[in-house]
């Protein structure tokens, strides 16, 4: 039986889910420890997005309506010319 720490171990090949699990656990722990550092920034970004996204959504809707009207107008003019 091979030990986990031996240099001849095929640890990632024997237990591929363990590598992903270890990586996710480490990332989660680091995020939890560092959360006091990035939490105010995340809150600020969230508030800014909450203000900007409705405005950007309305602008995008107006662009979509404009494109649809333009393509409909162009199609009608092309049909009349034929």
pLDDT in tens, 19-70: 678 888 888 899 889 888 888 888 999 999 999 999 999 999 999 999 999 9
Which of these ranges, 10-14, 64-68, 71-75, 78-82, has the smallest mean pLDDT?
A: 10-14
The answer to whether the CB of 19 falls within 8 A of the CB of 12 is yes
pTM to 2 decimal places: 0.50
Domain that holds residue 32: 13-81
**Cα 49 from Cα 3, distance rounded (Å):** 50
Query: Is 1 inside any structural domain?
Result: no
Q: How wide is the angle at C-alpha 76 spanned by C-alphas 72 and 77, nearest 5°?
A: 120
In a domain, 74, yes or no: yes
Any domain includes 44: yes
Angle at alpha carbon of residue 40, lines to 36 and 44, rounded to 5°: 160
When divided into structural domains, the chain yields a total of 1
31 inside domain: yes
Q: What is the DSSP string of 16-37?
A: HHHHHHHHHHHHHHHHHHHHHH
In a domain, 17, yes or no: yes
The verdict on residue 39 lying in a domain is yes
Residue 2 lies in a domain: no
Structure tokens at 2: 């091979």
State pLDDT tens for residues 3-22: 555 555 555 556 666 667 88
């Amino acid at each position: 039986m091979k030990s986990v720490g031996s240099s001849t171990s095929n640890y990632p090949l024997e237990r591929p889910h363990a590598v992903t699990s270890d990586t996710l656990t480490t990332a989660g722990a680091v995020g939890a420890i560092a959360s006091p550092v990035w939490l105010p920034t995340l809150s600020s970004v969230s508030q800014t997005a909450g203000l900007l996204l409705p405005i950007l959504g309305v602008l995008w809707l107006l662009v979509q309506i404009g494109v649809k009207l333009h393509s409909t107008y162009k199609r009608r003019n092309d049909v009349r010319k034929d």
